[in-house]
Amino acid sequence: MRVSRRCTRVAGMELTELLRVAERVKAIDIALGIPAADPPAPVVDAAVAALRAGRHQYADPAGLPELRAALAAGLRRTHGIDVDPATELTITCGATEALFATLLAVTDPGDEVVVVQPCYESYVGMVELVGAVPVVVGLRTDGWRLDPADLAAAVSARTRAIILNTPHNPTGRVFDAAEVGGVLRLCRERGLVCVTDEVYDHYVFDGARHRSPLSLPGGREHVVLAGSLSKTLNATGWRIGFCVADPATTSAIRRVHERTTIGTNRPMQHGAAALALDSLGDNRSWVQQQRDLMVDRLTAMGFAVFRPEGGWFLMADTRPLGVPAGALCRDLVERAGVLVAPGETFFAEGGEDRWLRMTFVRDPAATRDALDRIERFLADRTG
């Protein structure tokens, strides 16, 4: 049977083979962002109550009105963003669907989409699946800074959108006012759409401030925001995301949404609606402590590590150890029983074999065990 050209262009997920090895050797996983904390009890109770009350059938494809209202209120209080929940907010099957539906709604085949790398692995594949062309712009590796001038140089007459992710996966950068404002200014000047992935907006550390381009003057006309209650609620398997855009763009996104997933899991939406965004149990301080533990341990082992300003992940540079990251990644899973993610996974082109990505939101005891194993492996290797 013939497979479409768009599908053949999309590579498989790089971690798949390593995950098979990790399962076989029972490795400790500090590669995937699966939080140790459970969802807040009121959220689980509300979801269970919805199931017991027989709320098993379709809801409004745009999402439960009470959930959209709670989200709109939370965005207003936490980020200063005024959203009409009836016409500007859609509940999706995770932020991944929000991003994919947005790209289908705002691009045509042959359009170009600027992607900032390193990046979440799905971005480039999404762009290719909708028939658009990814144009890659790299962050500056000395501090993972985003230079709007680099973005401007990549924009052509065919460019339609820029994908921005802050707090950033995999580096942990929280882009500052100059960086975010520069992206929005470019979009306003060139008539582009800024598709902003803000799934880790509630995980910002050390007093840093999350800045959404949607909150800036002119943002409403040029920004589509994708967010994730699955991340905020520590319920990654619930797959509840959301999408905020102006009414006309929201109407287009909803048409895509209705023809792909139709709607999002109803009982889980009832659970999520139990808490507004700003009244969630805040485990940010705990996550920050885990970040500090991992950064300090890895630095002591000889890695060069950027201390994340937000999110759930860090990037560790293996150059000071004198070993390629890909080889070390394979050795760690096969010989030390620790799964980390190869950094090349997050580079669409031109990535150096020097980065490993790790998460600091897993079970603390297992994480300490994993770091002990890495430390022993490196000591045995050099001894």
Tell me how far apart the alpha carbons of residues 207 and 6 are, in angstroms, rounded to a whole number: 43
- 141's CB contacts (< 8 A; 6+ apart) are none
Report how many domains make up the chain. 2
- What is the signed CA dihedral for 360, 25, 318, 119, rounded to 10 degrees? -60
- Whether 221 and 306 share a structural domain: no
User: 128 is written with which tokens?
Assistant: 């290719």
Q: Are residues 354 and 232 part of one domain?
A: no
pLDDT at position 280 is 52
Same domain? 286 vs 213: no
Domain boundary among 239, 259, 279: 279
Range of the domain at 356: 5-38+282-382
Tell me the pLDDT of the chain averaged across its residues: 93
Q: Which two tokens stand for residue 320?
A: 């000071």
Query: What was the pLDDT predicted at 383?
Result: 62
Chain centre distance of CA 66? 25
**292/153 same-domain check:** no
Q: Which of 83, 182, 77, 82 is nearest to 137 (CA)?
A: 182
Q: pLDDT 10s digit of each residue in the chain, 383 long?
A: 988 888 887 777 767 888 898 999 999 999 999 999 888 888 999 999 999 999 999 999 999 999 999 999 999 988 899 999 999 999 999 999 999 999 999 999 999 999 999 999 999 999 999 999 999 999 998 899 999 899 999 999 999 999 999 999 999 999 999 999 999 999 999 999 999 999 999 999 998 889 999 999 999 999 999 999 989 898 999 999 999 999 999 999 999 999 999 999 999 999 999 875 545 546 788 999 999 999 999 999 999 999 999 999 999 999 999 999 999 999 999 999 999 999 999 998 877 899 999 999 999 999 999 999 999 999 988 76
Containing 355, the helix (H) or strand (E) segment is strand 355-359
3-state SS class at 4: coil
- Domain boundary residue among 279, 302, 335? 279
Which DSSP helix (H) or strand (E) runs through 115?
strand 112-117
Question: Which residues are CB-neighbours of 162 under 8 A, at least 6 positions away?
Answer: 113, 114, 116, 151, 183, 186, 187, 192, 193, 194, 195
Predicted confidence at residue 281, as pLDDT, reads: 46
The encoded tokens of residue 59 equal 């809801």
**Which CATH number does the domain housing residue 351 bear?**
3.90.1150.10
Per-residue pLDDT tens for 356-382?
Answer: 999 999 999 999 999 999 999 999 887
254: CATH: 3.40.640.10
| 195 and 318 co-located in one domain | no
Same domain, 70 and 90: yes
**What phi, psi does 274 have (nearest 5°)?**
-70, -20
If asked whether residues 18 and 112 sit together in one domain, one would say no
- Regarding whether 347 and 226 lie in a shared domain, the answer is no
Interaxial angle between packed helices 94-106 and 122-129, expressed in degrees from 0 to 180 and rounded to the nearest 10? 40
For residues 292 and 271, give the distance between their C-alpha atoms in angstroms, rounded to a whole number: 32
Tens digit of each residue's pLDDT (9 = 90 or more) over 305-315: 999 999 999 99
Last residue of a domain, one of 247, 279, 311: 279
